[in-house]
Amino acid sequence: MSELEVNDVSMIFDTPDGGTVEALQNVSFNLKQGELLAILGPSGCGKSTLLNIIAGFLSSTSGSVSNGSKRLHGSGPDRGMVFQQGALFEWMTVAENIGFGPQMQGTPPEEIKKIVDDLLETVGLQDFGHKAIYELSGGMQQRVALARCLANNPDIILMDEPLGALDALTREKMQSLVLKLWKETGKTIILITHSVEEALFLGERLFVMAPRPGRVKQQYTLPFAEAGLTQDPREIKASPEFIAKREEILSMIWEMEEEIMGNNQAVGM
């Protein structure tokens, strides 16, 4: 069992005007194999920076990230990324997209076919393997993106607003798919979202981040993701417990946004 450890990570960017931005300040946390962490917070609080450091696309100014006993430097096959949209290979079929990672690793064709067929079924696209990407709806494309990520069998899946571009109904269906994949695969998942409702519903753990400097302001452990595996999502989201948490977090984010607006006005932005 591997455990992701983010240890005292800070990130300072230089800005074009010669100043600096403290995008992350002393962020530390551990995630056990199979935990699902949602990260929420106003724009500019460092969510993407944190995800990109864990993915290995960015090097932190200080601190470290480890997966189990392995200290991480740069990207690696133990971490997979799912983006909001546009990251699929448009000129390949659905099956070719999903099989791309295993093919690059030199997996034999018959094994690739099995991986692809299994994953097409897992994400509910059994009859779509031969389709071109442009023939699919946005929701279906995100199903392919999830399957393509799973095909590489990473320990940790990093999702940057994966459902952000979808209409409300498709988004709800996809949330249930994310929960199903989480439970069936036992992967560790970190998911960034701007939707308070989505963060509450999917985050077994939830971080609310604050900006300037970017940091984890509040942490929650929540029952809704586990409940979502067996209960109707609409009922969960309409429950008094869910609504109370949603209002608590919305107020917290509102306050932060007001503070940011106030600061910006003070410096004439």
Contact residues for ligand ADP (CB under 6 A)?
Answer: 13, 15, 21, 23, 41, 43-49, 214
The number of beta carbons lying within 10 Å of the beta carbon of residue 20 is 11
Q: How far is the CB of 192 from ligand ADP (least distance, A)?
A: 7
Between residues 27 and 151, which has the closer beta carbon with respect to ligand ADP? Answer: 27
Q: How far is the CB of 211 from ligand ADP (least distance, A)?
A: 7
User: ∠ at Cα 30 (25, 35), nearest 5°?
Assistant: 125
Q: How far is the CB of 41 from ligand ADP (least distance, A)?
A: 6
Spatial contact of 219 and 242, defined as CB atoms under 8 Å apart: no
Q: C-alpha distances in angstroms, 82 versus 189, 190, 199, 214, 246?
A: 11, 10, 16, 23, 25
Q: How far is the CB of 158 from ligand ADP (least distance, A)?
A: 13
Between residues 183 and 212, which has the closer beta carbon with respect to ligand ADP? Answer: 212
Q: C-alpha distances in angstroms, 190 versus 40, 80, 81, 119?
A: 11, 10, 10, 20
Give me 169's structure tokens.
């109904």
User: ∠ at Cα 35 (244, 13), nearest 5°?
Assistant: 85
Nearest Cα neighbor of 80 from 33, 143, 150, 178 is 150
Between residues 93 and 193, which has the closer beta carbon with respect to ligand ADP? Answer: 193
The number of beta carbons lying within 10 Å of the beta carbon of residue 202 is 26
Between residues 50 and 98, which has the closer beta carbon with respect to ligand ADP? Answer: 50
The whole-angstrom separation of Cα 31 and Cα 248 is: 24
Between residues 21 and 236, which has the closer beta carbon with respect to ligand ADP? Answer: 21
Q: How far is the CB of 151 from ligand ADP (least distance, A)?
A: 27
Which sign, positive or negative, has the C-alpha torsion 49, 53, 56, 61? Answer: positive
Between residues 52 and 122, which has the closer beta carbon with respect to ligand ADP? Answer: 52
Between residues 99 and 214, which has the closer beta carbon with respect to ligand ADP? Answer: 214
Q: How far is the CB of 27 from ligand ADP (least distance, A)?
A: 11
Q: How far is the CB of 83 from ligand ADP (least distance, A)?
A: 13
Spatial contact of 65 and 17, defined as CB atoms under 8 Å apart: no
Q: Chain-centre distance of CA 225, in angstroms?
A: 15
